[in-house]
Structures are given as structure tokens and as C-alpha cells.
Amino acid sequence: MTKPPIIGWLKRFWVIVVVAVALVAAGAVVGRLRTFFDTDQPLAPGVGHADAIVAFNTKRVTYEIVGPQTATGRISYLDVNGKTLEAGFTSLPWSTTVTTTAPGMLANVVAQGDTDGLVCRILVNDKVVDENHAVGRDAQAFCLDKAA
């Protein structure tokens, strides 16, 4: 009596059949678990279980340049996005304030004037975090705070 052709085929490829059945079963279990725990929803504000991030810690970063009242010159400083802004001054003191709710900000100011002395300051929420005094002909002052 001859063996049915299916038995001969199973003897040769039984490992492949077992692996295929195991993969299908594992896929079904994982799919069921994903829908059971509702993890197939994207994590975005207002969708699923994610909460919207609310800004709560406002920082005021103030750049100040101090020197003789009759001094004139140029200033470069960074805004809240790290973009360089330029300004000129025809008298001192000079100051500008930027406000952010970001956890950190790179604050940088450079000033050069036609005077023998300049002072630059960076204040975060009215606390001095960096101050630099420059003396000499056409003084240039530079202040930097990496974690304003």
C-alpha cells in the first residue's frame, strides 16, 4: 500500500509548517493585545490618552548694555529661536527683553561702541546670569548664557 502524498510532504516540510502556524498565532495574539489596551491610537494632544502640554514657566531674558551716555555703536543678540538680531544705539544704557516658555534658551549679546568702556549683562527673570566689562579703544563686550 502506498502512502498518501500529503504524508510524504509533511515529513519533509514539517518544520516550516510549525513555524508558519506559530507566526500566525503570535500575530493574532499581538493584534488582540494592541486593541485590548488601546495602543493603536496615535499619541497626540486631544487624541487617545495624551495630554496637551501647557506652558507654565515663563522666562524673561533681558539684554543690557551700559556705558557712557554719549556712546554710539552696534549690538547683535539672539532671539528666543536662536536667530541673530542686530540693533544700533546712539546713547546708553540700552536694553531689550525677550520672553519664552521654552525649557532652555541660548542667550548671547555682543556690543561694540566708540567708547573706552562697555558693560554687557544678561538677566533671566531679573537675576544677573552673565556680566562682562570691556575696556580699551572701541570696546567690545560679549555675554553668553547657554541655559537661560
55 pLDDT band, cuts 50/70/90, is low
Q: Please tell me the predicted confidence (pLDDT) of residue 42.
A: 59
Mean pLDDT of all residues in the chain?
86
104 vs 81: CA distance, rounded Å:
11
Lowest pLDDT segment from 5-14, 75-84, 97-106: 5-14
pLDDT of residue 6: 74
**Rounded Cα distance, 145 and 141, in Å:** 14
Average pLDDT for 143-147: 90
SS (H, E, C) the chain: CCCCHHHHHHHHHHHHHHHHHHHHHHHHHHHHHHHHCCCCCCCECCECCCCCCCCCCCEEEEEEEECCCCCCEEEEEECCCCCEEEEEECCCCEEEEEEECCCCCCEEEEEEECCCEEEEEEEECCEEEEEEEEECCCCEEEEEECCC
Please tell me the total number of residues recorded for the chain in this structure: 148
pLDDT tens, 60-92? 999 999 999 999 999 999 999 889 999 999 999
What is the dotted CATH code of the domain comprising 59-145? 2.60.40.2880
pLDDT beyond 60 at 98: yes
Q: What is the pTM of this model?
A: 0.63
